[in-house]
Each structure stands twice: as structure tokens, then as C-alpha cells.
Homo-oligomer: A and B are copies of this chain.
Amino acid sequence: MSRDRDFSTIGRALATPARSAFLNLLMDGTSRPAGELAQAAGVSASTASEHLAILVEAGLVTCAAQGRRRLYRLADASVAEALEALGVLADPTPVTGYRRSRQAEHLAAARFCYDHLAGRLGTALARAWVEAGWLAGRDVLALTTAGEDGFRALRVDVDGALVARRPTTRACPDWTERRPHLAGALGAAVGRRFLEAGWVVRHRAGRGLAVTGPGLAELRERWGVSLRG
């Protein structure tokens, strides 16, 4: 069975709560220093370092030195996709402590899922773009010709997304909402454009996104998108 895949090595890499926590923290596509990951996961710096080495060894995470810090991030979009698929199977971890609620609410509103918009913002946009005829297939989110023009008008790099090596569009299951949001090369291009235009801003330390005033008004006017829970 030379076609068999070895799930055990990757499985081992995922198999501890600390490493799972690290991956969750990195799933928004950000780069984070080892110390921050250690503190967030509640392990000592030395333990975190060992865990991170294992994740790098497994090819799930890459490390970039920046001065005396080392920044870790997911290795690849395919890693994020695999973790998303696994997340569909995994139960959400129980809420620990009441301080989480505001934070969780914040994340549910708008966040990045590796390189594309997720949360209520991501799913609402996907829904709106399907209704506008820009994307076809409620659960497929295929780009239509109308969508090509529409996204171009938003100054999203549609042409780059059309010739990218990975699929132009992909429906990514949103863990907090029940609906998919837009991923794939176009999803990433949309995310870049939203950041570049300042419609969303990455939250400093946290994982969420702030939606700026003009962006929020634009969203509500054009697509009837509301971020109310």
C-alpha cells in the first residue's frame, strides 16, 4: 500500500494540549514569538521551545529569527486547511474563566482564518456575495463573471487569484457560524485588500479584527452586513 499516508507523525505533532494551543493561536496567520506562545499555553519557556521544535520538525510551523526573538507561524495554507478540516471533528475546548466571554464575542464578530476573513464578518460577506451573484453555490462559493467584475471594482486582485496555484475559491467551514466563508486564492486576496484599505485592522495582541468606521458603514450599506451577534 505505497499509497498510504502516515497520519501518525502529524498526529503525534498535534497530540498535546500545549501544541494544540499553539496551533490555535497561529491559525489566524500571524507570526508570534516563542515567549508569547509559552505564556498563552501556560507552559514554561523551555517546554514551549521543545514543543515548537516538534511542530517545525513536523512541517506544520516555520520559524523566522528577528533579533533575539524567534517568530513562529503556520508553514503553509495547506496546514491551515488541514487544521480547519480537523476542527470540524474536534469539540471546542471548554470555556475557562469568565474573562473569555468578551474575547470570544470579539473573535466571533470578525477574525482572520489564516489568510482570509472569518467569523460573522466572513460568513456574512460570503452570504451577501452569493446573493449579489458574485459567488455561485451557497456551499461552493465559485467565482462568477459578475463576481470577477465586482471584486475588481473593489480593487481586489482577482487576476492574481485566477492564476494562482491553489484553487481560486474554496468554501471554508466557519467554526463559530454554521455557514462557510470564502477561502482560497480569492479569499486571501480579499483579506489582503480589506487590510490594505483599512476596512479591518488586526487587533494588537489578540486574534480578532477591528472593523473601522468607514469600513463598517460601507459593509452595511453595500451588503447589509451586520456584525451584531
A contact set with B: CB distance below 8 Å: 1-17, 19-21, 23-25, 59-60, 78-79, 81-95, 100-101, 103-104, 107-108, 136-137, 139-140, 142-143, 166-171, 175-176, 207
Contacts and interface: CB of A to CB of B under 8 A. Distances in A.
A209 to B, nearest CB: 13
Given A60-B89, A89-B60, A8 B15 contact: yes
A104 B2 contact: yes
A6 B92 contact: yes
Contacts of A143: 137
**A4, A20, A139: most-surrounded residue (chain B CB, <10 A):** A4
Contact of A167 (B5, B8, B60, B140): B140
Contacts of A142: 136-137, 140, 142
Given A1-B207, A2-B100, A78 B82 contact: no
A87 B85 CA distance: 11
